[in-house]
Structure 1
């Protein structure tokens, strides 16, 4: 059982002991810290407002109720979207003129997990400084709850998906008419969470025939909810059986998007962003950003269109920060997270679906043909566990010096770019582990590169 506190929120398993798991008391304490932070950064005479929403997890209603009533107890008005998605809450915060937002979701984690994701008044994740203040407040428990006449008001807003979908359809590069004319047939796997409500509504608005697989928002995940190839065998089979044009897979909070080709093969999570960027860059010149552990294919596609690519440290807040600095037209993370500034600065599978289908409709090619048109890269993701006594930072420093003649980035661990492949070494913040990500022109080459670096690390560590 686990409880993880970070700048972006609190995440843990339901049940167990306080401070060791995500218990009701932990939810109240952290919501109190967030609400207190909001009140302190706004004028004392202002009535603050927070938008909340949740995915379909079994524990979602319990945690969401605790969070909402805690905020009300602090004198903060709460607008509850109920069953929602992470990007829908992000869109709702500025639309509702709110001062912040909380999404009750543990993203791709299994059903025993839940979490609070915290947003600012722009509907964007908090930065390190803001998150640090909230962590300190949660530790000190310096809370001042409202008197009875100053309690916040609680209200519900139903089916905010329609507003979100309208926002998506109004994006200039979303070719709704072209998608309708293409007569797409799509299978959707939403792992029995809120994507099963949002994605079919979007597809219906686009005139796409939708075949639902695990779209009942019960919170009982029928398979591992992380949209990786090994978890998607059922939708791969159904896409072929239904003679569908493609399959769409989202995680429980709908900020990660994976595509299945018409032959049941994987388009690849890394290539969701590549395809959407290719489409956007074909219409509008500009630059792109993803994180250091994302595929080199985005760089290749960006340069093909005359733009410049840059990589940020891992983490959505870091990606967004660099996107704003570079004024990019599209960016995101290689795990299927599309961030399109024209809409908002958050990973959004609804935006991703609309851009992807627009691209496919205009090119008039199959999903597999589109995938085959991109540079072929393969990734390997590994880790090496070390003893607590070993200095992980010293190992990473030694690796950086050893490969100093290569193209190296040390903004987040050590990334070494070779001519045709790369390796990214990152340490865990919670345990003595080095994560090893590699990419090359074949799966075998990527795996071999990873094994080579694992052995080199072992030698330096004296293992």
Structure 2
């Protein structure tokens, strides 16, 4: 059993003993701590919290405990039921709420769940705020409300508001999409995207949608991370259906993977690259991605006359940098598109609306669009953390070893060589060191990554 407390929220496996997994006692403790924190940061807001969840098997159990705990702390709750992460973020603003909780473990397998915590802007809490909540949880200094002051629960669906917001974006052209007469395949891994993505596609004027794993029962049909090795069925469906484009999302629909008409993956790194290219054509400006994202975004940004900036891994870090440099588009190379004209959160539905407009207006096939971008190859490897591995010491030694190269240490250690890079960092969501590397060929990317792994093993 595992319980991880980080900038990404409170994440753990379901079951086991308190403090060792995400048990009911842990859910109550961290929800109550969040309520205490929000109570001291109301900013003239009512004591109201929005709660949404993905479709995973433990979702209803966790959901009921969170609702009960929040009302016990004297908060009213707007329960939006099964909803995507970006839908919940938008609902916080739409309801003028003091915060929000999203119940999802994102790309983690079905035995996991998590509490992702939002501020009154519908954005993730920063590290300092997260630390405050962890401290409150540790102290268990909760003051539950008497019966006369218990909160109330109101249910409201928010998907249509989310879809309307996508259709209302200036750079989403529903007419162009409709006239392109596109055929679209979707793999939604049996979570909330199985409802949200087809509904959006029909609203955008897509005539034919081929659905794969779109029943939101939460018993994931494959590993829910939208990577090529997990999306072989979508690749096959692309060929058999003769679809023009394929979309895959993770369980909470903040990551978007795209498939070409020939069944080949567009590349998760290139979701943000393609959408950014389209945005920059119409809205010149700056872009931001995290340190583990492809150089292709930098190249495209420079070619469009903008400036590219990097940020530490984590949505909250990317958002902070985007605000700092007034970026017109940004996100993460895992398929996470953050478009400030909509909201400051990764949003696969926004990504779909913008990408389909870009595709329709380009007159190209998806594979041709992909071929128009700089070609980089990324290798993603990891080392499982064991008691004898001190990750901080490992990173310090790596920084010292490569001091003659361009090294960035705002989040782990990134070593930039002239024609490639490698990034080592402790994961926020799993007990591992992630090792991402990129080069002009997959062989080179894998080679530099393996060299780093071999060095680490020699250090242990």
For the aligned pair, the TM-score class normalised by the smaller chain equals: over 0.9
Matches within 5 A, 1:9-408: 9-42=9-42, 47-158=46-157, 160-208=158-206, 209-384=208-383, 388-389=387-388, 391-408=390-407
1:453 is paired with a residue of what secondary structure? helix
How far off is 1:402 after superposition? 3.1
How far off is 1:336 after superposition? 0.3
Structure 2: how far apart are the matches of 1:386 and 1:79?
39
How far off is 1:428 after superposition? 4.9
Q: What does the per-residue CA deviation read over 1:96-155, in whole Å, with 9 as the maximum and x for residues that have no partner?
A: 100000011111111111111100000000011111111111111111111111111111
Judge conservation of contact 1:388–1:432 (CA < 8 Å) in 2: no
Judge conservation of contact 2:51–2:100 (CA < 8 Å) in 1: yes
After superposition, the Cα gap between the structure-2 partners of 1:48 and 1:381, relative to the gap in structure 1 and judged at 3 Å, is same
1:307 is paired with a residue of what secondary structure? coil
Judge conservation of contact 1:392–1:432 (CA < 8 Å) in 2: no
Judge conservation of contact 1:7–1:135 (CA < 8 Å) in 2: no
Judge conservation of contact 1:199–1:350 (CA < 8 Å) in 2: yes
After superposition, the Cα gap between the structure-2 partners of 1:46 and 1:188, relative to the gap in structure 1 and judged at 3 Å, is closer
Q: What does the per-residue CA deviation read over 1:169-190, in whole Å, with 9 as the maximum and x for residues that have no partner?
A: 1111111111111011001110
How far off is 1:36 after superposition? 1.2
After superposition, the Cα gap between the structure-2 partners of 1:445 and 1:20, relative to the gap in structure 1 and judged at 3 Å, is same
How far off is 1:385 after superposition? 5.0
Judge conservation of contact 2:125–2:316 (CA < 8 Å) in 1: yes
How far off is 1:433 after superposition? 5.0
2:200 is paired with a residue of what secondary structure? helix
Structure 1: gaps (5+ residues): none
After superposition, the Cα gap between the structure-2 partners of 1:129 and 1:198, relative to the gap in structure 1 and judged at 3 Å, is same
Structure 2: gaps (5+ residues): none
Judge conservation of contact 2:188–2:213 (CA < 8 Å) in 1: yes
Q: What does the per-residue CA deviation read over 1:52-87, in whole Å, with 9 as the maximum and x for residues that have no partner?
A: 011111111111111011111111110000010000
After superposition, the Cα gap between the structure-2 partners of 1:203 and 1:445, relative to the gap in structure 1 and judged at 3 Å, is same
After superposition, the Cα gap between the structure-2 partners of 1:188 and 1:430, relative to the gap in structure 1 and judged at 3 Å, is closer
Structure 1: how far apart are the matches of 2:222 and 2:388?
37
Structure 2: how far apart are the matches of 1:385 and 1:190?
29
CA RMSD of aligned residues (A): 1.7
Structure 2: how far apart are the matches of 1:431 and 1:71?
28
Structure 1: how far apart are the matches of 2:220 and 2:17?
25
How far off is 1:222 after superposition? 0.7
In the alignment of these two chains, the number of paired residues is 459
After superposition, the Cα gap between the structure-2 partners of 1:432 and 1:169, relative to the gap in structure 1 and judged at 3 Å, is closer
After superposition, the Cα gap between the structure-2 partners of 1:61 and 1:432, relative to the gap in structure 1 and judged at 3 Å, is closer
Judge conservation of contact 2:8–2:314 (CA < 8 Å) in 1: no
Structure 1: how far apart are the matches of 2:430 and 2:177?
47
After superposition, the Cα gap between the structure-2 partners of 1:424 and 1:10, relative to the gap in structure 1 and judged at 3 Å, is same
Judge conservation of contact 1:47–1:75 (CA < 8 Å) in 2: no
* Superposition TM-score, scaled by structure 2 size: 0.96
Structure 2: how far apart are the matches of 1:203 and 1:391?
47
After superposition, the Cα gap between the structure-2 partners of 1:413 and 1:368, relative to the gap in structure 1 and judged at 3 Å, is same
Q: What does the per-residue CA deviation read over 1:315-363, in whole Å, with 9 as the maximum and x for residues that have no partner?
A: 1111111111011000000100000011101000000000100110110
